[in-house]
């Protein structure tokens, strides 16, 4: 196991501490739910049919994406570095509903201890911007993928309509409102990360969301208009961008 840096240890403690209030702070009101629904729609649009697919979710957090994947019929192994987050995620499947239960396990993207070659999809949602070494994370995932696997992840896009916010985050090296690692990336940086990991980007989808929805809920009309008028063919203008990758077969 690798030695944690001070920053990574602080991030781990932050997510453990905020696990029980995480969803309430970000997705409980109308603005938060709007962003959540857009993200699910973008994820679902990337795959024609999730039913019976095998999915490894890295950084599942409270399990909100996990729950959707299971509803869509996927078989999911959901992982996170935070045991507190995993406990919250597991509770989503304790109410006796008809959903099948995913497998939960504690795991870091830097220390993958599972054979990922058998998975159809490896996904990381809202994780990339929080990683201390995203290039290493992408290489670590790609090294275990099979030719039929797909990696799907999101990143905070620096060339989006929120670029002033992204610039401030990058200058600080942390979120503006929380003591947790955060960084925004240009599409060119993402392309380089993928190319260095022998991955080919096959598609992109953009979605809007409201930063700090409990505080900035009044900005919902602005973001709603942006979502309606910004063409889908310009995903790099959206604050959050889904990237779908596969192994570059030309380098086999």
What is the CATH classification number for the domain harbouring 119? 3.40.50.150
What mean pLDDT is reported for the chain?
90
pLDDT band for 8, please (50, 70, 90 cuts): low
Q: Would you say residue 143 lies in a domain? A: yes
- Residue 80: pLDDT band (50, 70, 90) is very high
Which pLDDT band, with edges at 50, 70 and 90, does 44 fall under?
Answer: very high
Could you tell me if residue 62 is inside a domain? Answer: yes
Using a pLDDT cut of 70, give the percent of the chain over it. 94
Residue 229: its H or E element: helix 220-229
Q: Which residues pair with 181 in a beta bridge?
A: 174
* Domain annotation covers residue 1: no
| Predicted local confidence at residue 173, as pLDDT | 87
Domain count, the chain: 1
Predicted TM-score (pTM) of this structure: 0.92
Is the residue at 252 inside a domain? no
List, for residues 139-171, the tens digit of each pLDDT value: 999 999 999 999 999 999 999 999 999 999 999
- The model's pLDDT over 101-130, given as tens digits with 9 standing for 90+, comes to 899 999 999 999 999 999 999 999 999 999
Please say if the pLDDT value at position 213 is more than 70.
Answer: yes
120 occurs within a structural domain = yes
Domain region containing 40:
6-247
Give the span between the Cα atoms of 1 and 78, in whole angstroms. 20
Q: Which residues contact 25 (CB under 8 A, 6 or more apart)?
A: 18, 214
Q: Please, which pLDDT band fits residue 96 given cuts at 50, 70 and 90?
A: low
Longest pairwise C-alpha distance within the chain: 51
**Which residues lie closer than 8 Å to 43 by C-beta, 6 or more apart?**
65, 68, 123, 125, 152, 205, 242
């Amino acid at each position: 196991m690798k030695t944690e840096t001070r920053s990574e240890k602080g991030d781990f403690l932050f997510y453990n501490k905020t696990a029980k209030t995480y969803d309430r702070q970000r997705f409980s009101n109308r603005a938060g739910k709007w962003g959540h629904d857009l993200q699910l729609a973008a994820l679902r649009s990337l795959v024609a049919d999730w039913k019976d697919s095998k999915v490894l979710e890295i950084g599942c957090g409270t399990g909100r994406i996990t729950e959707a994947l299971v509803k869509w019929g996927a078989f999911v192994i959901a992982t996170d570095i935070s045991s507190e987050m995993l406990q919250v995620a597991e509770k989503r499947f304790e109410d006796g509903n008809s959903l099948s239960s995913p497998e939960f396990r504690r795991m870091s993207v830097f220390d993958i201890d599972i054979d990922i070659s058998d998975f159809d999809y490896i996904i990381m949602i809202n994780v990339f911007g929080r990683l201390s070494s995203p290039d290493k994370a992408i290489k670590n995932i790609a090294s275990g993928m099979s030719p039929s696997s797909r990696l799907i992840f999101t990143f905070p896009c620096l060339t989006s309509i929120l670029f002033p916010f992204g610039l401030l985050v990058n200058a600080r090296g942390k979120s503006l409102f929380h003591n947790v690692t955060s960084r925004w990336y240009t599409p060119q940086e993402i392309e380089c990360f993928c190319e260095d990991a022998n991955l080919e980007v096959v598609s992109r989808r953009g979605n809007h969301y409201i930063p700090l929805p409990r505080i900035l809920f009044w900005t919902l009309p602005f973001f709603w208009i942006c979502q309606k008028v910004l063409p889908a063919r310009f995903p790099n203008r959206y604050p959050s961008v889904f990237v779908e990758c596969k192994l570059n077969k030309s380098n086999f």
